[in-house]
Amino acid sequence: MLVKLIRKVNWDKELRSRLQTIGIMHSGLMMVVVYMDNPHGYVCRIRRGDIMEVPDNEEKLSALLVILAAILNAKIIVRETMKIVQQKKNSEDIFKQAGRVKRLRSSEEIPARLTTPKACS
């Protein structure tokens, strides 16, 4: 998913260093937030948050606030990434793309085996 986002920004060095993807792994009442980014353009970095557990009684209800805060932080990161990807192209890129026709892919398929036509008599 991160590579697809990087393609969307045309491998721009500055923009791709600001992109992040978020993953949430959960099992039962446990969850972990995982972050993936490409800060220097060489290797993708995966960071893992702390394991959080949804409380099963009211004495541990404050743990629920930590989970809600983690979800809100993940939402902020997703919104920032969306803003980066959806930025309008600058005028130089628009000028370079002006007049170019995008080639459409053909949807026709060549069959794996063709039949030989019968000879006319």
The whole-number pLDDT of residue 109 equals: 60
Which has more confidence, 71 or 119?
A: 71
Q: What is the CA radius of gyration of the chain?
A: 24
- Region 70-92: what's the mean pLDDT? 85
Domain boundaries, the chain: 2-84
Residues 6 or more apart whose CB falls under 8 angstroms from that of 26 comprise 32
The whole-number pLDDT of residue 49 equals: 92
* Closest listed residue to residue 10, CA positions, set 110, 96, 115: 96
> For the residues of 71-95, what is the DSSP string, one character each?
HHHHHHHHHHHHHHHTPPPPHHHHH
- Region 22-31: what's the mean pLDDT? 94
The whole-number pLDDT of residue 59 equals: 87
The whole-number pLDDT of residue 111 equals: 60
Residues 6 or more apart whose CB falls under 8 angstroms from that of 114 comprise none
The whole-number pLDDT of residue 93 equals: 66
89 — pLDDT class (breaks 50, 70, 90): low
The whole-number pLDDT of residue 6 equals: 86
Strand partners, 45: 37
- Region 70-76: what's the mean pLDDT? 95
- Region 50-56: what's the mean pLDDT? 92
Q: C-alpha angle with apex 98: 10 to 82, nearest 5 degrees?
A: 35
In single-letter form, the type of residue at position 35 comes to Y
Mean pLDDT estimate for the chain: 83
